[in-house]
Amino acid sequence: MTNTVNRQIQLSARPANYPKESDFDLVESPVSEPGEGEVLVKVIWLSLDPYQRGRMRASHPYATPMELGQVIVGGVVGKIVQSRTPAFTVGEVVEGPLGWQEFAVSDGNNLRRVDAGLGPLSTALGILGMPGMTAYFGLLEIGQPRPGDTVVVSAASGAVGQVVGQISKIMGCRTVGIAGTAEKVEYLKSGLGFDAGINYKTENVDAALTKVCPLGVDVYFDNVGGVITDAVFDHLNVGARISICGSISQYNQDEPEPGPRKMGLLVGKQARAQGFLVGQFRNQHEEGRQRIAGWIKEGRIKYREDVVEGLENAPGAFIGLMRGENFGKLLVKISEE
Ligand SMILES: NC(=O)c1ccc[n+]([C@@H]2O[C@H](COP(=O)([O-])OP(=O)(O)OC[C@H]3O[C@@H](n4cnc5c(N)ncnc54)[C@H](OP(=O)(O)O)[C@@H]3O)[C@@H](O)[C@H]2O)c1
């Protein structure tokens, strides 16, 4: 271990509305020594995810908020460079919530060995990691699609949405994605095999849904909330299922929009809207991971990653994520594999 300096990105201020560079600090400190029973991990990949915005708030409905001066929480993939436990050996690649930093000490309880045979290491944070599991269980367990159903997914070109749409196609469903640029919508259709796409920034979503979902919507995988969700609710079929995954349209509002505004429509449609957390399926993640890896190997699922280089660029990339500038799963590469 030749490095002696650890660089971290810490939260320096709680963002007001959209985060900005001055909400983050790049701080240097000595690399910590692992104690008895611990390992030192050299981080290779950082995962940038919308939930991190919620953890920057002073209070959170179900998770612990970050403190000012704390390293930004987040999943990483890295390599064990020192081990003082028989549970891990030097050179093993692991995934875990070690935060935005170059080196981290862990007791190993929160680390998962990455199976490099399943795919590139970065996929352990994307399609074969938390976002992929979110898509798999959020669609299949909560959305319960049936062949012939129409499935609509919002934030469709992102880490979760791109996987939702492709699993929906495998399940034999008509699949419609909603995204924020023409390039993203074109990719959904010609790159990933979606049946139709809607650009919510340039199209009237309600009118577009009438056109591309002539038989109505049976499953809505909701990543965004707000006005897009309102528009989809007007197209639900009797017995529709809404898988409430996230509401990114509200994450940067200091005062969230009032809502849910069209919940009453679920009465007549005898529809079910159900929130979920990827962690509630943790005992089944391995099964989901193997199944998605199989689909990738068979060429039935593709994935797109958006890679930014350098720890110092993580805040800027995260700010971009909140504004839809990422195209696919957003990752920061901070050291060589
Ligand atoms: N329930 C769970 O356990 C769980 C787990 C993981 C993720 N999630 C949620 O899943 C959702 C997607 O996460 P992800 O990791 O896949 O992110 P992502 O889609 O890769 O990135 C976020 C995307 O959201 C879109 N967006 C941003 N602001 C928006 C707005 N105001 N209205 C509509 N779309 C907006 C942008 O795409 P466009 O260009 O299309 O606008 C942006 O690229 C988030 O809500 C996240 O919190 C939930």
Ligand 1 centroid from CA 224, angstroms: 6
* Probe target for ligand 1 pocket from 229, 230, 248, 284, with the most ligand atoms within 8 Å of CB: 248
Residue whose CA lies nearest to ligand 1 atom number 37: 324
Residue-level pLDDT at 193: 98
Residue-level pLDDT at 1: 58
Give pairs for 18-24: CB < 8 Å, separation 24+.
18/252, 18/319, 18/322, 18/323, 19/53, 19/56, 19/252, 19/315, 19/318, 19/319, 19/322, 20/319, 21/315, 21/316, 21/319, 23/56, 23/315, 24/72, 24/314, 24/315
Ligand 1 in reach of 276 Cβ (< 6 A): yes
Per-residue tens of pLDDT for the chain, all 337 residues? 567 899 999 999 999 999 999 999 999 999 999 999 999 999 999 999 999 999 999 999 999 999 999 999 999 999 999 999 999 999 999 999 999 999 999 999 999 999 999 999 999 999 999 999 999 999 999 999 999 999 999 999 999 999 999 999 999 999 999 999 999 999 999 999 999 999 999 999 999 999 999 999 999 999 999 999 999 999 999 999 999 999 999 999 988 888 889 999 999 999 999 999 999 999 999 999 999 999 999 999 999 999 999 999 999 999 999 999 999 999 999 999 9
Residue-level pLDDT at 254: 87
Domains belonging to the chain, first-starting first, are 5-126+304-333 (3.90.180.10), 130-280 (3.40.50.720)
What's the predicted TM-score (pTM) here?
0.98
* Probe target for ligand 1 pocket from 192, 224, 227, with the most ligand atoms within 8 Å of CB: 224
Give the closest residue to 48 by CA, choosing from 74, 72, 21, 18.
74
Give the closest residue to 46 by CA, choosing from 332, 281, 335.
332
Ligand 1 in reach of 224 Cβ (< 6 A): yes
Residue-level pLDDT at 2: 61
Ligand 1 centroid from CA 56, angstroms: 16
Residue-level pLDDT at 285: 98
Residue whose CA lies nearest to ligand 1 atom number 21: 158
Ligand 1 centroid from CA 49, angstroms: 8
Residue-level pLDDT at 260: 82
Ligand 1 in reach of 243 Cβ (< 6 A): no
Atom of ligand 1 nearest to the CA of 325: 43
**For helices 285-297 and 161-170, what crossing angle results, to 10°?**
70
Amino acid, res. 318: F
Residue whose CA lies nearest to ligand 1 atom number 19: 158
Ligand 1 in reach of 131 Cβ (< 6 A): yes
Q: Decide the pairing of beta strands 196-199 and 174-179.
A: parallel
